[in-house]
């Protein structure tokens, strides 16, 4: 949605379009890679670990955006990015701790 309506979200979040596009690009990259992993028959612990590390790296980026734009962004924008930070932190923790289990491919699914 962010990629389709960057100006609208920029106005809603009171953030520069460049930040909206950064958020959108990261979300699309994550979605494509996660979907590829979900359907992959060659999932490895390393490929799941890469997803976990990417999510862990995205957490401080979200926090930095919140801190940098705390005075100018809208409450909606700050809330959305803060919740995204919490979500990716939890997700990276889960993915890392379960990377070996998540690497297994169900042959009967």
- State the average pLDDT over residues 53-63: 97
25-54 exposure pattern, b = at least 16 Cβ within 10 A, e = fewer: ebeeebeeebeebeeeeebeeebbbebbeb
Closest CA to 24 of 81, 103, 98: 81
The model's pLDDT over 2-45, given as tens digits with 9 standing for 90+, comes to 888 999 999 999 999 999 999 999 999 999 999 999 898 888 99
Directed axis angle between helix 6-13 and helix 17-39, to 10°?
120
* Residue 41 pLDDT: 86
Question: Which residues make Cβ contacts (< 8 Å) with residue 105, sequence separation at least 6?
Answer: 40, 41, 42, 43
Distance from first CA to last CA of the chain, Å, rounded? 30
Chain centroid, CA 66 distance in Å: 15
Chain centroid, CA 75 distance in Å: 20
Prediction pTM value: 0.89
Mean pLDDT of the chain: 93
Decide: 52 and 37 in contact? Cβ < 8 Å. no
Q: Give the Cα separation of 9 and 15 in Å (integer).
A: 8
């Amino acid at each position: 949605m962010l990629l389709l309506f960057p100006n609208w979200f920029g106005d809603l979040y009171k953030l520069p379009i460049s930040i909206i596009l950064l958020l959108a690009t990261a979300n699309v990259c994550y979605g494509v890679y996660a979907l590829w992993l979900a359907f992959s028959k060659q999932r490895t612990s390393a490929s799941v670990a890469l997803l976990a590390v990417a999510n862990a790296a995205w957490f401080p980026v979200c926090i930095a955006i919140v801190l940098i734009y705390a005075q100018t962004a809208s409450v909606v924008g700050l809330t959305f990015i803060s919740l995204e930070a919490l979500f990716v932190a939890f997700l990276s923790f889960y993915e890392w701790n379960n990377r070996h289990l998540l690497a297994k491919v169900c042959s009967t699914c």
